[in-house]
Amino acid sequence: MDAALNFMPLSSLVLPTSSTSLFPRPLIRKKAKHMPCVSQILDNADSSAFVNTSSKSVTRRLILLRHADSSWNNPSLRDHDRPLSKTGRTDAADVSYKLQLLGWVPELILCSDAMRTRETLSVMQEQVKGFLHAAVHFIPSFYSVAAMDGQTAAHIQQMICKFSSDDILTVMCMGHNKGWEEAASMFTGSVIELKTCNAALLEATGKSWEEAFESAGLGGWQLQAIVKPDSNLENYVPT
């Protein structure tokens, strides 16, 4: 059993006669000095110490590639389902190799979901491993919009702005004629012909893709080259 507690009667307590209280005064806490939070420190810091790369206008590169040659050997297939021909597969490998040598390997690829465009991309990825590092989105509307007069350029712009980000500098859009020829011509202001597996290399500048399209407008994109499977690389000299 615990030991009994001893209590002292209140009458035996001797209270001090001085003004000092038996009970200690409550502690008076000094008011803490207000320290600015991190966000305030950053706001007040010299802005030159923090460089925002997104504020710089940079070159944006757009590859408009028409699919490689397709096969007509099976007439029962829908147009959407036609595969590449043997020539088409050879051409796709050749053009991907040339794009690599020119330094135009895309970081983002937007591709029609038709069989011949998907197979063109697959061959290019097999030939040049850098194409495997690109983000890929298959856009069903790329197949249908290419048949509509005057709508492909605006649709390509819309899809690029939807799927890209400011840090992506090279985008490749893969599709069909007549829309791809029409879009290349509208973006550059020049008449451009794109045969199968031809790639138009376009450039504009902007802090973002939205700004690049807005500042260049229709006719303001610079045509750097048209890469063809049957042409030599020495023909591709930047303008």
Determine, yes or no, domain membership for 183.
yes
Distance in angstroms (rounded) separating the CA atoms of residues 52 and 166: 12
Structure confidence at residue 234 (pLDDT): 59
Determine, yes or no, domain membership for 10.
no
pLDDT, tens digit, 9 for 90 and up, residues 74-121: 999 999 999 999 999 999 999 999 999 999 999 999 999 999 999 999
Determine, yes or no, domain membership for 168.
yes
pLDDT, tens digit, 9 for 90 and up, residues 18-51: 444 433 444 444 444 444 443 343 344 333 333 3
Q: What's the mean pLDDT in 139-148? A: 96
3-state SS string for the chain: CCCCCCCCCHHHCCCCCCCCCCCCCCCCCCCCCCCCCHHHHHHHCCHHHCCCHHHCCEEEEEEEEECCCECCCCCCCCHHHCCECHHHHHHHHHHHHHHHHHCCCCCEEEEECCHHHHHHHHHHHHHCHHHHHCEEEEECHHHHHCCCCCCHHHHHHHHHHHHCCCCCCEEEEEECCCHHHHHHHHHHCCCCCCCCCCEEEEEEEECCHHHHHHHHCCCCCEEEEEECCCCCHHHCCCC
pLDDT band at 54; cut points 50, 70, 90: low
Determine, yes or no, domain membership for 140.
yes
15 against 58, higher pLDDT? 58
The encoded tokens of residue 91 equal 């051409």
44 against 163, higher pLDDT? 163
Positive or negative torsion for Cα 129, 132, 133, 134: positive
Structure confidence at residue 171 (pLDDT): 98
Structure confidence at residue 215 (pLDDT): 95
Determine, yes or no, domain membership for 15.
no
The encoded tokens of residue 33 equal 């000095």
Residue-number span of the structural domain to which 187 is assigned: 57-235
Residue 123 maps to which CATH number? Answer: 3.40.50.1240
Q: How many domains in the chain?
A: 1
Q: What's the mean pLDDT in 157-183? A: 97
Structure confidence at residue 231 (pLDDT): 82
Structure confidence at residue 40 (pLDDT): 41
Determine, yes or no, domain membership for 223.
yes
